Structure 1
Amino acid sequence: MQATIYMGSKCNLNCAYCHREADEFEPKVSEKLIEELKKLDDPTIKFMGGEPTLYMGEIKRIVAALPSAKFVICTNGVNLENYLPFFREHDFLVCISFDGGANAERGFDPFTKAIDYPKLAVSTTLHHGHIDLKAIIKSFAEKERIIVRALSFFPHFAHATNTANDTYALSLGDAEYILRQYKEMVGSYMEQRFKYGVRNFRYEGMFTGLLKRYQANFSYGETYCVNKNLKKYNTSGESFTCLYIRDEKLSDNWQTEQQRLLDEKFPECRCCPVYFMCGGGCIKTKSRDIECYINKMLFSWFKAEYEKWKGAGYAD
Structure 2
Amino acid sequence: MEKITIYLGSRCNLNCAYCHREIEENEPKVSDGLIEYIKGRPNITVKFMGGEPTLYMDEIKRIVDAAPHASFSISTNGILFPKYRDYFLKHRFFVVISYDGADGLRGYDPFQNVMDYPWLGVSCTLYHGNTDFGKILKNFAEKERIIGRPISFFPHIMHETSEKNQAYALTKEDMDSIYHQWKERVEKLVTDFEKYGVVNQRYMGLFRGLFARVQAVFSFGETYCIHRNLKKVTADGRNLNCLYIRDDEIPSDATKERMQVLLRERFPYCEHCNLYEMCGAACIKSSNHELECYFYKRLYGWFRGFYDEHCTSCDALGRWF
TM-score by length of 2: 0.96
Alpha-carbon spacing, 1:233–1:298, altered in 2? closer, same or farther (3 Å): same
1:73, 1:297 → 2: CA distance? Answer: 31
The secondary structure found in structure 2 opposite 1:244 is coil
The Cα of 1:198 is off from its aligned counterpart by 1.6
* Aligned residue in 2 for 1:265: 266
2:214, 2:53 → 1: CA distance? Answer: 30
- Asked if the contact 2:11–2:51 (Cα under 8 Å) also holds between the matched residues in 1, the reply is yes
Alpha-carbon spacing, 1:72–1:137, altered in 2? closer, same or farther (3 Å): same
The Cα of 1:36 is off from its aligned counterpart by 2.3
1:100, 1:314 → 2: CA distance? Answer: 29
Runs of 4+, deviation exceeding 4 Å: none
Structure 1, 291-300 or 193-202: larger mean CA deviation: 193-202
Query: 1:93 is aligned with what amino acid?
Result: F
- 1:144-172 per-position Cα deviation (integer Å, ceiling 9, x unaligned): 11011111211001111111101111101
The Cα of 1:41 is off from its aligned counterpart by 4.8
- Asked if the contact 1:74–1:97 (Cα under 8 Å) also holds between the matched residues in 2, the reply is yes
1:284 and 2:285 correspond:
yes
Aligned pairs for 1:74-93 (under 5 A) are 74-93=75-94
1:37, 1:219 → 2: CA distance? Answer: 26
Aligned pairs for 1:222-237 (under 5 A) are 222-237=222-237
* Aligned residue in 2 for 1:115: 115
Structure 1, 180-189 or 50-59: larger mean CA deviation: 180-189
- For structure 2, the 5+ residue unaligned runs are 316-321
* Aligned residue in 2 for 1:33: 34
- For structure 1, the 5+ residue unaligned runs are none
- Asked if the contact 1:95–1:122 (Cα under 8 Å) also holds between the matched residues in 2, the reply is yes
1:213, 1:141 → 2: CA distance? Answer: 27
- Asked if the contact 1:114–1:148 (Cα under 8 Å) also holds between the matched residues in 2, the reply is yes
The Cα of 1:314 is off from its aligned counterpart by 4.1
Alpha-carbon spacing, 1:40–1:279, altered in 2? closer, same or farther (3 Å): farther
Aligned residues: 313
The Cα of 1:194 is off from its aligned counterpart by 3.1
Q: Identity, % of aligned pairs?
A: 52
- Asked if the contact 2:42–2:70 (Cα under 8 Å) also holds between the matched residues in 1, the reply is no
Aligned pairs for 1:123-162 (under 5 A) are 123-162=123-162
The Cα of 1:38 is off from its aligned counterpart by 2.8
The secondary structure found in structure 2 opposite 1:95 is strand
The secondary structure found in structure 2 opposite 1:271 is coil
1:183, 1:205 → 2: CA distance? Answer: 13
- Asked if the contact 2:71–2:92 (Cα under 8 Å) also holds between the matched residues in 1, the reply is yes
1:283, 1:41 → 2: CA distance? Answer: 31
1:174, 1:201 → 2: CA distance? Answer: 25
Query: 1:57 is aligned with what amino acid?
Result: D
1:263, 1:194 → 2: CA distance? Answer: 42
* Aligned residue in 2 for 1:193: 193
2:39, 2:77 → 1: CA distance? Answer: 28
1:16, 1:165 → 2: CA distance? Answer: 6
2:46, 2:278 → 1: CA distance? Answer: 23
1:69 and 2:70 correspond:
yes
- Asked if the contact 2:7–2:49 (Cα under 8 Å) also holds between the matched residues in 1, the reply is yes
* Aligned residue in 2 for 1:99: 100
The secondary structure found in structure 1 opposite 2:155 is strand
1:278, 1:296 → 2: CA distance? Answer: 8
* Aligned residue in 1 for 2:179: 179
Query: 1:240 is aligned with what amino acid?
Result: L
1:222, 1:170 → 2: CA distance? Answer: 25
- 1:120-144 per-position Cα deviation (integer Å, ceiling 9, x unaligned): 1000000111100111011000001
- 1:57-113 per-position Cα deviation (integer Å, ceiling 9, x unaligned): 000000011111000000001101000010000000010000003x21110000011
* Aligned residue in 2 for 1:205: 205
Aligned pairs for 1:249-264 (under 5 A) are 249-251=249-251, 252-264=253-265
The Cα of 1:17 is off from its aligned counterpart by 0.5
The Cα of 1:39 is off from its aligned counterpart by 3.8
2:277, 2:42 → 1: CA distance? Answer: 24
Query: 2:274 is aligned with what amino acid?
Result: P
Structure 1, 235-244 or 38-47: larger mean CA deviation: 38-47
- Asked if the contact 1:170–1:287 (Cα under 8 Å) also holds between the matched residues in 2, the reply is no
TM-score by length of 1: 0.97
- 1:247-301 per-position Cα deviation (integer Å, ceiling 9, x unaligned): 1111111000001110111111111111001000000011212111110000000
- Asked if the contact 2:10–2:21 (Cα under 8 Å) also holds between the matched residues in 1, the reply is yes
The secondary structure found in structure 2 opposite 1:123 is strand
1:133, 1:292 → 2: CA distance? Answer: 21
- Asked if the contact 1:195–1:314 (Cα under 8 Å) also holds between the matched residues in 2, the reply is no
Q: Cα RMSD between the aligned structures?
A: 1.0
- Asked if the contact 1:114–1:147 (Cα under 8 Å) also holds between the matched residues in 2, the reply is yes
* Aligned residue in 1 for 2:218: 218
